[in-house]
Amino acid sequence: MITYTQQDYLNTLTKAGLVIDSNLYGHDSDAIQGLTYNSKEAAAGTLFVCKGAAFHPQYLADAVFSGATLYVSEQKYELDTKVPYILVSDIRKAMPYLGKLFFNDPSKELNLIGVGGTKGKSTTAYYVKAIVDDYLASIGKKESAVISSIDVYDGVTKVESHITTPENIELLQHFRNAVDSDIDFLEMEVSSQALKYNRVDQITFDAAIFLNISEDHISPIEHPDFEDYFSSKLKMFAQTKHALINTNSDYFERVAESAKDAENVITFGTKPGSDILGYDIKKIDHEIHFRVSCDRFDEDFALTMPGLFNVENALAAIAAAYVFNIPVKFMKSGLYRARSSGRMETYMSADKNVIAVVDYAHNKLSFDKLFSSTRKEYPDYDIISIFGCPGKKAVIRRHDLGTIAGMYSKKVYIVAEDPGAEPVEQISKDIAQYVEAQHCPYEMIEDRGEAIRKAIMTSEGKSILLITGKGNETRQKYGSEYLDCPSDVEYTKKYLAEYDASHQA
């Protein structure tokens, strides 16, 4: 990578109209060798970014002690030595300019596919990845990179995620890793928070998918209301070449109007007139079959991942492949084998009386789709649901999820789900009132494993367990820490084996 000087960073931020004061103390030509806002990562020649509501001046002092030679901040700090500084009017708006310069604008060297919407982002990202990877393998190229709420793979690192869209500096580091690893494609989820707080500024998506919209992430620390949430989602179109929008989405007219900000618009969905039209949808054994028609083909497709609602996600992935002229045979093969860890993972007892579905569903739209689809696909099974809600955010989910689960379920188990600093009992009681309003029996059991075991071992007749929210995640957030724990998938396999053993005796 090309390295730039302190003066280069000052010039970049000045040109962006963000600088309110600066003093490089004669170090104009000093090269910047690192970029971070984590004082533990600072080293010789680092540009340190002072950001966040919890920022403390000591972090800057620690970074300088470790070798930081320039800091960018919204205010000046008194230090023991004269350290070059650039003061800006908005640190969040400044970071994308810093990242773009430091990492040499890696996004322009990638085929970048962004996925936005309230529900289905991770599933769609992995559907696209499966198609793209089949195509890349056929021409002898490396698999694509992915940044999702499930995990991150960039050619250098592969880690479990704890945030949908990383901060800009981490995001561009992943882009740079992908480019340096000779990776051509990258799929990523784009959250409303990322768009609202400038994490994806200065990035152009080659294709941006808009799946759907429903009220979510409304809280004092996220979006104050639905309008703020929706308008944040729509910002993605202003920085994309091809906007791919779902004709089945609520507020489609408004979405379509905003999509005009993109260079090109392609629609997908099951409504007549969609550019990528899905039709003749049916379940055959454990597969979902459907046809897709567009100006290039009219073909049969199949999904082995359950959930009739996933057809819309598949159509989105087909639309993305269409943009990149990927042959239809790779669309078919990719979708047929596609899996998203922790998404609609289905397990069954030996006697077939207990089916367990592990999924990340965690908001109103995803719950509505999951429960209604389950009722349609498994009409002979009683629904038992196991879920919780996170602490201190998206509080409207407690009403929505409690109501939907109560409407469809024979029984509900309310469990811990990243409670953070909020007492689990308080969260559970908030949810319980809405379950109770639907006259549905419920039980509050904080430990997810204990709840899954009880639901499996005490099930009567044919039961399908919908275990939602955590999928294959192996950590729970308590306070400000992530504590290791078995995943819902591990619990499910363990207790289904116990069930099978007890019923064979």
User: What secondary structure does DSSP assign to 426-477, as a single string?
Assistant: HHHHHHHHHHHHTT--EEE-S-HHHHHHHHHHT--SSEEEEEES-TT--EEE
pLDDT of residue 249: 93
Cα–Cα distance between 364 and 404 in angstroms, integer? 8
Whether the Cβ atoms of residue 186 and residue 178 lie closer than 8 Å to each other: yes
| Closest CA relative to residue 185, chosen from 220, 222, 154 | 154
Helix (H) or strand (E) holding 259: helix 252-259
pLDDT of residue 54: 85
| Closest CA relative to residue 356, chosen from 413, 313, 400 | 413
Residues of the chain with pLDDT under 70: 215-219, 221, 340-342, 505
pLDDT of residue 342: 62
Sorted by sequence, the CB contacts under 8 Å of residue 164 that are 6+ apart come out as 121, 148, 149, 189, 190, 191, 193, 194
Sorted by sequence, the CB contacts under 8 Å of residue 318 that are 6+ apart come out as 131, 268, 276, 292, 301, 331, 335
pLDDT of residue 254: 95
pLDDT of residue 163: 80
| Closest CA relative to residue 45, chosen from 22, 21, 70 | 70
Helix (H) or strand (E) holding 99: helix 91-102
pLDDT of residue 424: 95
Cα–Cα distance between 411 and 405 in angstroms, integer? 9
Cα–Cα distance between 209 and 124 in angstroms, integer? 9
Question: Hey, what amino acid is at 297?
Answer: F
pLDDT of residue 217: 61
The residue with tokens 């007890």 is: 502
Query: How many CB atoms neighbour CB 114 within 10 A?
Result: 29
Question: Between helices 328-337 and 310-323, what is the axis angle to 10°?
Answer: 150
| Closest CA relative to residue 86, chosen from 140, 3, 194, 7 | 7
How distant, in Å, are the alpha carbons of 125, 225, 310, 391, 464 from that of 476? 24, 27, 27, 11, 25
The sign of the torsion formed by the CA atoms of 499, 440, 219, 165 equals: positive
**Predicted structure pTM score:** 0.81
Cα–Cα distance between 166 and 149 in angstroms, integer? 10
Cα–Cα distance between 42 and 132 in angstroms, integer? 37
Question: Hey, what amino acid is at 404?
Answer: I
Question: Hey, what amino acid is at 171?
Answer: L
